[in-house]
Structure 1
């Protein structure tokens, strides 16, 4: 089955202040280590939406995988701050039975495509 949305979090768009600070620290060596670690961390997180489930996989040394079936989803939120709107990214929150979200992932690109993928998958 082909996923309708499959993305890694973005670095600069999610935290532009941290990214600029890390770039400013590159001449001191600390910035390059910070940027490499941040890049690896972001590449190790992946959100996938298909017709049956929403999946979040993340982790470098130890892996975490959370899958939520479309039938058990009670509510979905895609939040965007002002900065997120400027850089076209958002925070995904998927709720099932409780008050706390089962899946939370910040920095996901193209929230409009994310919403559309969730709507079409939940409607199918």
Structure 2
């Protein structure tokens, strides 16, 4: 089973103003370093993978939470991008199977439209 897409949320591109503010706070008793370290661990603790048949979302460092959805069961894929997100090529993605709440919701993914296209292509037998 080969991975067609695999990515962690990104830091700078997802929130450039927050990143710059954190850098500016480094001289203030190292607060910026603590913020950046916490933010880095959060991004590395989440990962979205798309294979030929499944979508897998893993979250957590010490304890893991995994959500797996078959591509054929996906009803809707929503991509949300602000103006800055579009400039930097990142965004949030929600994957719905049944019901009104998304099965998988991830913010800050690089190239979220690629994920949507991969899912659409796989659903159509591509």
Q: TM-score range by the shorter chain?
A: over 0.9
**Does the Cα contact within 8 Å between 1:9 and 1:46 map onto a contact in 2?**
yes
d(CA) in 2 for partners of 1:85 and 1:44?
24
Q: Does 1:10 align with 2:23?
A: no
Matching of residues 1-124 of structure 1 within 5 Å: 1-28=1-28, 29-124=30-125
* Runs ≥4 residues deviating over 4 A: none
Over residues 21-55 of structure 1, what are the superposed CA-to-partner deviations in whole Å (9 max), with x where a residue is unaligned?
11111112011011111111101111000111111
The question of whether the paired residues in 2 share the 8 Å contact of 1:50 and 1:121 is answered with no
For normalisation by structure 2, the TM-score amounts to 0.92
Count of residues in Structure 1 that have an aligned counterpart in Structure 2: 124
Gaps of 5+ in 1: none
Q: Distance in 2 between matches of 1:115 and 1:76?
A: 6
The 1-side partners of 2:94 and 2:13 are apart by 18
- TM-score normalised by the chain length of structure 1: 0.93
